[in-house]
Amino acid sequence: MAIWVPIWLGPVFLLVLVTGTTSVWTQIGAFFSAMAMVTFGGAYAVLAYVAQAAVESYGWLAPSEMVDGLGLAETTPGPLIMVLQFVGFLAAYRSPGALDPLLAGCLGSLLTTWVTFAPCFFWIFLGAPYVEALRGNKALSAALTAITAAVVGVVANLSLWFALHVIFREVHPVEFLGMAPTVPRLGSIDWRAALLATAAMVAMLRFKVGMIPTLISCALAGALFAHVPA
């Protein structure tokens, strides 16, 4: 803790002192630090939280841009979690202050990378000596089982969020029992996206077509549909 907490949070506290508590740099450092500490279940579980916070709470990017970021991340051989750097880039690019926007974006991406992955090393060095002993702890095992079950719901939420923003051009919140779920405007459906999504599901679930052929086919069809009115 003496080594990794300063390595991880030192830059964040320095940014607070230099830029203030309301700057985009402080927001990026604080938000992604908190995200790295409280999210479980892999990239898909993390992105559900990040997408809604970055779009709805902070307004760093539009829903369609978050979808673009996920699509770009899915095409790369690297980990899907790198889509966070896309979010950090756009957040700083659009609030560069006195910096050049491109430089600010690159620094925002670098900061996002730092506060996302430094906590990983903190947890590894802090918990690794006790992993074997904790495996036999029934209370902890039960808690982790519950977290695993919750992750299924979180991933389903991510799927629904992206599906709504891909297939429909307009969505809006509706007040219901103290909640405000997002529902689509049915007249704004993009039939091209709906057709591709349906075709991909049928190909993979009914005809057992592989992931890569499905992605390539959908990419080609998307390029062709780009010239067809929605």
Residue-wise DSSP of 201-226: HIIIIIS---HHHHHHHHHHHHHHHT
pLDDT value of residue 181: 81
Amino acid at 160: L
Both tokens of 122, joined, read 């903190």
pLDDT value of residue 75: 78
Q: State the DSSP H helix or E strand holding residue 183, giving kind and residue range, or none if neither.
A: strand 182-184
Q: State the DSSP H helix or E strand holding residue 188, giving kind and residue range, or none if neither.
A: none
Both tokens of 210, joined, read 């592989």
Distance CA 142, CA 86 (A): 35
Query: Cβ(77)–Cβ(187) under 8 Å?
Result: no
Distance CA 214, CA 52 (A): 28
Any idea which residue has 């349906």 for tokens? 198
Provide the residue ranges of all domains of the chain, joining segments of one domain with +: 4-134, 190-230
Q: What is the pLDDT along the chain (230 residues), one digit of tens a residue?
A: 899 999 999 999 999 999 999 999 999 999 999 998 877 777 888 888 898 899 989 999 998 899 889 888 877 777 778 899 999 999 999 999 999 999 999 999 999 999 999 998 898 888 888 878 777 788 888 887 888 888 888 888 888 888 998 999 898 888 887 877 889 998 999 999 999 999 999 999 999 999 889 989 999 999 999 888 86
Backbone angles phi, psi at 102, to 5 degrees: -65, -40
b/e 115-130 (16+ beta carbons within 10 angstroms → b) = bbebbeebeeeeeeee
Q: Is the dihedral of CA 120, 37, 33, 2 positive or negative?
A: negative
pLDDT value of residue 140: 81
pLDDT value of residue 142: 86
41 Ramachandran zone, left/alpha/beta (phi>0; psi -120 to 50): left
Give the count of beta carbons closer than 10 Å to the beta carbon of residue 138. Answer: 7
Q: Collapse the DSSP code of 168 into the 3-class scheme (helix H, G, I; strand E, B; otherwise coil) and give the result.
A: strand
Considering only CA atoms, which of 1, 151, 220 is closest in space to residue 212? Answer: 220
Q: How far is CA 30 from the centre of its chain?
A: 16
Amino acid at 191: W
